[in-house]
Structure 1
Amino acid sequence: MPQPQPQQNPQAVGFLYPGHSAEDDYPRLEAVLRETGAGLRLPLVHTDIGEDAHRVDALLEMGSAARLADGMRELAGRGAQAVVWACTSASFVFGWEGAHEQVRGLAATAGMPASSTSFAFVHAARALGVERVAVAATYPVDVAEHFVAFLKSAGIEVVALRGSGIITAAEVGTWGRSETLAMAGAGDHADAQAVLLPDTALHTAAYLPGLEEALGKPVLTANQVTVWEGLRLLGRPVTTDRLGALFAR
């Protein structure tokens, strides 16, 4: 069967990524998408995070409108038709309404459709028909509880929560397959239809099939759902068996 040919002028989703930790997941994800012939680019720029801390006050500053606007100025001219704030914690800490306001402000600044990783988790769970989830977070529990509240506002029940107590994204970025698998397994629950790993500082792009095989259910991870959300904004679904159940549909 002939392979699909990429578009001559590929569409692009732009990502604003806080700091430096697991940003290499994005070229890895882009390479997988390229193998499908989808003809998509994923340009990424780094935003200034200020203090690297999984602490509510620091996260509110990290996700401030001024910092996102600075990131958009750097992303301008990269050919993006949609943009995603590639951060979970510095979106859900604003609460359901505040996170909507954050995205509306980003869309207005960007002049294009916009979203964030927190909303990506909600949309991904709905796409899979998932109503009950377990959350296995790298964050301290008090920060992770804000994510639980965010999911509850979306009508998603969290049947189990596990926090790992890690303060900095820099430390999360050092984790490999074994640490990620251990956290996901420890955070799983028999009643959960899926397990959510909400931190874009965590490398997961290379581990998705193995995570789902080990847990026997869909696993939604931050960088995975962030890219999927960007494709959703473009109206460009991509199917591959290398990025978990979310992309296998």
Structure 2
Amino acid sequence: MSINFKHITPKFKKNFNPKVGLIALSTDYTIESDFNTVCRDLPLDIFINRIHNQNPLTKENLLKMQDELESVAKKILPNEKIDTIAYGCTSGTIAIGEDNVKKKILLAKPDCYVTTPVTSAIKAFNEMSIKKIAVFTPYPESVNKTIFEYFTKKNIEVLSFASLNLDLDSDIAKVDPKYLLETLIKLDTVNADALFISCTALPVLKILDEIERKTHKPALSSNQTLIWDTIRSIGYKSSVKGYGKLLRN
């Protein structure tokens, strides 16, 4: 039996959404969901690749990611242009160095905009005229010191610092959001301009509005600021409600 194959000429789209690459940690249960929650109805397409992360949370283990950054970025739509790449690790960016993270990613995707949680946090602080912050993290003390030192070098005054002291990144996403809300609204934020909640794995995005209502202070998180900087980088500046003042305004 034989058959004639009919060839039909395809018609291609003329306009495409901006392409966003997200580098998520292999141990992070939260960041991918947070990006999809905020961006699902926005005019952009997200492409995710994961980078190996070793437990426990130490500066030495975080540093190990730098050797994989280029190859992981390169595998996000290989040979295709990406508009923005977001590296999803706050403590990892500080350990590796913000400039080094950008340099490694740009080796793979030289024409893209690169952002990180600390890049975006500082931009958000500047946007909202925030000079004094209260900080909350899930990290152990050795990592907390690097967070404190980073913000201090950026001329951000840290007035209070609280932590869950967790060693395993995979445990961070398992913390109960209701417990987090109860804990975060009790922190000392009286003299702070804002509360900053560090770590892309911590499930706080959906409680930021409630924190702000109860503390009367802006609440910013790693994922919130990273998403904010990402969508701004592709030209989206409309209000996104439900995830804190930063995205709402």
> TM-score range, shorter-chain basis?
0.7 to 0.9
Residue of structure 2 aligned with 1:59, choices 55, 62, 71: 62
Per-residue Cα deviation, 1:53-85 (whole angstroms, up to 9, x for no partner) = 2211111113x1x21122112212576311011
The reply to whether residue 84 of structure 1 matches residue 76 of structure 2 is no
Shift of 1:135: 0.3
The whole-number CA distance in structure 1 between the counterparts of 2:125 and 2:163 is: 20
- CA drift of 1:191 comes to 0.8
Q: Secondary structure at the match of 2:203?
A: coil
- Residue 93 (structure 1) aligns with: 95
**Amino acid in the other structure paired with 2:29:** S
CA distance in 2, matches of 1:107, 1:187: 39
Root-mean-square deviation (CA), in Å?
1.9
> Can you list the C-alpha shifts for 1:123-157, whole angstroms capped at 9, x where unaligned?
11111111100001111122112111111121111
**CA positional deviation for 1:113:** 1.5
Provide the C-alpha distance between the structure 2 equivalents of 1:13 and 1:183, rounded to a whole number of angstroms: 33
What is the identity, as a one-letter code, of the residue corresponding to 1:101? N
Q: Answer yes or no: is the 8 Å Cα contact 1:28–1:205 preserved in 2.
A: no
- Structure-1 residue corresponding to 2:45: 41
Q: Give 1:103 shift.
A: 1.4
Q: 1:185 to 1:142 in 2, by over 3 A?
A: farther
Q: Is the 8 A contact 2:69 2:105 kept in 1?
A: yes
Partner of 2:134: 134
> Shift in Å at residue 208 of structure 1?
2.1
CA distance in 2, matches of 1:41, 1:143: 33
Paired with 1:210 and 1:79, the residues of 2 have a C-alpha distance of 38
Establish whether residue 27 from structure 1 lines up as the match of residue 43 from structure 2: no
Q: CA deviation at 1:8?
A: 5.0
Whether the 8 Å contact between 2:71 and 2:108 is mirrored in structure 1 is no
Query: Please, which runs of 5 or more residues in structure 1 have no aligned partner?
Result: 1-6
Alignment-derived partner of residue 164 in structure 1: 164
The Cα offsets for residues 186-244 of structure 1, whole Å up to 9 and x where unpaired, read as: 44321111111110011123222112112211111111111112123323323122221
1:206 aligned residue: 206
Q: Which has the larger radius of gyration?
A: 2
Relative to structure 1, is the Cα distance of residues 232 and 107 closer, same or farther in structure 2, using a 3 angstrom cutoff? farther
Amino acid at match of 2:25: P
1:76 partner letter = L
Q: Which runs of 5+ in 2 are unaligned?
A: 1-13
SS at match of 1:139: coil
Cα deviation digits, residues 26-79 of structure 1 (max 9, x gap): 211222xx1xxx412232221111x122211111113x1x21122112212576
- Which whole-Å CA distance do the structure 1 matches of 2:116 and 2:151 have between them? 14
1:61–1:189 distance in 2 versus 1, CA, 3 Å: same
Alpha-carbon distance change, 79 to 176 in structure 1, aligned in 2, over 3 angstroms: farther
Q: Aligned to 2:206, what secondary structure does the other structure show?
A: coil
1:232 aligns with 2:232: yes
Asked whether the equivalents of residues 196 and 221 of structure 1 are also in contact (C-alpha less than 8 Å), the reply is yes
Residue number in structure 2 paired with 1:73: 74
| Counterparts in 2 of 1:186 and 1:143: CA distance versus 1, 3 Å | farther
